[in-house]
Structure 1
Amino acid sequence: MTSRLTELSVDCHDPERLAAFWCEVLGFTVIDRAEDQVEIGSWEPTVEEVRARQMPPTVVFSRVPESKAVKNRLHLDVSPIDRSTEAEVTRLLALGATRADVGQGPGRSWVVMADPEGNEFCVLRTLAPQ
């Protein structure tokens, strides 16, 4: 048997704020709260389901005292499913994201952004029906 990817953990200053932002971005809901920690997901995981098959990981936001200092070594990519990439970028800007420059250069098919605490993520090509 192998291991399963069950959670992606994100260090942050304000777990509630970042969880709310990512819930809006991904259409997730809060599935658990603990002191200084918020977990969001598209489903409520059970041990039995995780054992049976690979399921989408949840995202856990944990409060830490230090600030983000350098470009993320790991980041999320998102693809809009019901609008163009540019329309999704506009929506995410309204939610509190910002455009980010990580040296990607012009003419890319994706847009690099940062969440409200500066964690980079990319908006990829649209998956909306043509």
Structure 2
Amino acid sequence: MAPVVSQLTIDSRDPHALAAWWAEVLDWRYVWEPAPDDDEIEISPPSGDATNWLFIRVQDAKSTKNRVHPDLRPPEGSDQATELARLLALGATRVDIGQGEVPWVVLADPEGNEFCLLRGTPSQAAAALAAELEDNAES
């Protein structure tokens, strides 16, 4: 049996602010109500269908490109342009990490952690995968 991922841990200079920002971006909730002096803040999806994110206070600032980053899809009923406008209005910034011409948008959160906004919604991605699997089965 394989281990279960409990949380994705994210180092942060200000875990309160960064957890609040990501909770708003993802429409997630706090696992517990954080106290002002908490050095760890955890958020989770209301549905419980994804791994929680744990923000931990660190003293050093981010200095290089992330080795791991989240890829976000626009929610059903939306699209990449609409979600991009919302993320930028919340304080995300566009970043160039050498990605070149790609169909996704590379962004950074308020502490500079990169993440990508993909083009299709979850149902569009599922349909594309199903079509690809069907094509491969016919080959």
Tell me the TM-score normalised to structure 1 length: 0.85
What are structure 2's unaligned runs of at least 5 residues?
A: 125-139
Higher strand share: 1
Cα distance in 2 between the residues matched to 1:114 and 1:73: 14
One-letter code aligned to 2:110: P
Give the structure 2 partner of residue 83 of structure 1. Answer: 78
TM-score by length of 2: 0.79
Equivalent residue number for residue 50 of structure 1: none
Greater C-alpha radius of gyration: 2
Q: Structure 1: where are the runs of 5+ without partners? A: 46-54
**CA deviation after TM superposition for structure 1 residue 14, in Å:** 0.8
SS across alignment from 2:31: strand
CA distance in 1 between counterparts of 2:122 and 2:52 reads 24
Indicate the structure whose relative CO is greater, using CA pairs within 8 Å and at least 6 residues apart.
1
Identify which of 96, 121, 124 aligns with 2:118. Answer: 124
Residue matched to 1:70: 64
1:17 aligns with 2:17: yes
The one-character-per-residue Cα deviations of 1:42-88 (angstroms, maximum 9, x if unpaired) are 1487xxxxxxxxx5210001110000000000000000113110111
Alpha-carbon separation, structure 2, partners of 1:24 and 1:83: 17
Residue pairs, 1:42-81, within 5 angstroms: 42-43=45-46, 56-81=50-75
CA shift at 1:122, angstroms? Answer: 0.1
Indicate the SS of the match to 1:101: coil
Greater fraction helix: 2
RMSD over equivalenced CA pairs, Å: 1.9
